[in-house]
Structures are given as structure tokens and as C-alpha cells.
Amino acid sequence: MHTFILTLTALVALSINTPCRAATSIYPNKPIRLVVPVSPGGGSDLVARTLAFKIGEILGQSVIVDNRPGASGNIGADIVAKSLPDGYTIIIETPVLVTAPILYKRLPYDPIKSFAPIALTARVPHVLVANTKLPALSVSDLVGLAKSRPGTLNYSSAGKGSPLHLAAELFKSRAHLDIVHVAYAGGGPANAAVIGGQVDITFGNISAVIPHIRTGRLKALGITSIKRSPAAPDIPTIAEQGLPDYDFSSWFGVLAPAGTSRSIIARLNSAIVTTVGLSEVKARLETDGTELVTCSPEEFEQYLKSEKEKWFRVLNEAGITPD
């Protein structure tokens, strides 16, 4: 009888405790932080904020956007790389992630090994835009102006290795120009510098600069992708204006710290894929030129490797060396 009572007591305790342990293991059971490694106002920030609310609705928890700019995105990336791999701290990244080891000799994290790819979400062309007072109405005008005044024109970027920087350096290499780089802590400040006249040109994310083009605060000279954008079909590509081998598009993808469980990665991937397919999300982003895409974590991992190889070749060709 004594043994029976002890056994019964143990079973009752197990029946009480098991649901509690199961409940605490359900993901997610608290808000998720989505780190944006640049200042508010740029393309990464726009995509992150558009996706965050809907992803949160699907997961049943808030997704809080946390801007952590600085060091060309390395500060935000380092924060996430060193966070617990529990799915509650993730990051939205751009090609800067795969260019970091090419541009910097020492990093506090490994751009590939420190992260677990979740999903690619979007690709987007950029626009070569100029201050409205710059005496150039086309790419050929700008090239002629830059060649007549070598080393005097400047361009803004979101920091070394950022998509704005990569697009500009590819342009300089293809057109054989001497234009000075001025780095800012994000796409928003970089665009603002051109609007304010502190800088001559930038290669802004199309979704971030189109509103300024429409209001006349920026002057559009050319689209960076090989084809014109449906969001701005009247803006000719750089390729069709005398640089046929110029082609650049950025991308946005979400990653977690390495070691995050496959089940959590799968849960996040499913929520992102569903969000990207929503009509209201498409209406918000595709109107401004963003092409929404989806893929599996494995496909995103392979894409990152191919991007790293591509940009290694481009940066070598542009003569950019690690700091």
C-alpha cells in the first residue's frame, strides 16, 4: 500500500508538471527582437518594419524592430551573433553581411558561421540620385562632369560595404571615375545628405528614394538593375545609358544566431514566407520597386555563399582592399 501511494503521488505530480513544462517550451512565448543594423529611414528599416507587424500577428507575439547602426552594420551583426540562439533575437541583413570579411581584416564574428539563415525576403534595385542643383540630368552628364572635375564630386553611402557603397564602387569601376566616398550611419542619413546638398549623389534604395524623387527633392539619373523598374518605368537604367555591363540589385534576408534549433528556424521561415505572400505587404513594398521573394533556409544559405564569391570578384576588380 505504501508503495502504491508513492507511485500514485508521483503520477499526479507528473501530470501537473508536464503541461507546465510543455507550455514554457512553446515558441514563441515572448516578444521577438528584429535587429536592423542601420539607422531608421533606409531600405532595411522599411522592409523590416513592413514585415515585423505581420510576422508578429502570425506568431502571436510582437516583433520589435531595434535599430543598431554603426561600423557599417557590424555593431548590429555582432549583437545578434553573440545573442542566445533561442529565436528571440534575429536580424535583417543585406549584402553587407557577405562583404564584411572581404572589407575588414578583423571582425568580432564570422559572417557565415555565426548565423543561421532563415529566409530571403526581397530584392530591390537602387537609383542613382543627385542633388537637384547638380548640373547633370543623365548618367552621361554625370560621367562627363566627374571626368572634368576628378576628385571633386562625392557620393554618400550607409557605410563601407553597404549596398549603397557597393553600387557606387561598381559604378566608379565601370565608368573609370574618381568620386569621393562619404560614409553615413545608414541609408536615411545618406539620402538626407544629398537632399540637403552636403553630398552630390548617392545610390539609394529605390523604395527609400522614390518618395523624394516624386516630390522633387532628389533628381533621378538611372536605375541600377539591368531592367527598368515597374515602380519607375520612366527612369532609364544605367546600363542603357552607356554602361551596358552595369547591373546591381540589393537583397534583404533574415538570420538568427548560429545554433538556433531547426524547429525554430522552420517556424520563423514559415511565418516570413506567409507574410511575404500577403496582399497588403505586396501592396506596401512592390509599389516602391521591391521584388518580394521567398526561399527555404537551405536555399538562403547557398545564396549567401554565392553572393560572397560574387562580391569578392567585384571588390577586387574595384581595387578595394580590407582595412
Distance CA 281, CA 238 (A): 29
Distance CA 8, CA 5 (A): 5
φ/ψ of residue 115, rounded to 5: -130, 155
Q: What is the CATH number of domain 30-123+249-317?
A: 3.40.190.150
The CATH 3.40.190.10 portion of the chain extends over 125-241
Distance CA 59, CA 224 (A): 36
* pTM for the predicted model, two decimal places: 0.76
With the CA atoms of 153, 158, 162 and 166 taken in that order, what torsion angle do they form, in degrees rounded to the nearest 10? -10
Instruction: Output the tens digit of pLDDT for each of the chain's 323 residues.
Output: 444 444 444 444 444 444 433 334 699 999 999 999 988 877 788 899 999 999 999 999 999 999 999 887 889 999 999 999 999 999 999 988 998 888 888 888 988 899 999 999 999 999 999 999 999 999 999 999 999 999 999 999 988 778 899 999 999 989 999 999 999 988 889 999 999 999 999 999 898 899 999 999 999 999 999 999 988 999 999 999 999 999 998 999 999 999 999 999 999 999 999 999 999 999 888 887 888 999 999 999 999 998 888 888 878 877 777 77
The pLDDT assigned to 243 comes to 96
The pLDDT assigned to 25 comes to 62
The pLDDT assigned to 72 comes to 76
91 sits in which H/E element: strand 89-93
Helix, strand, coil proportions of the chain in percent (round to 5)? 45, 20, 35
Helix (H, G, I), strand (E, B) or coil at 82: coil
Q: 125-241, which class in CATH?
A: alpha beta
The CATH 3.40.190.150 portion of the chain extends over 30-123+249-317
Cis peptide before 111 (omega within 30 of 0): no
φ/ψ of residue 288, rounded to 5: -100, 15
The pLDDT assigned to 322 comes to 76
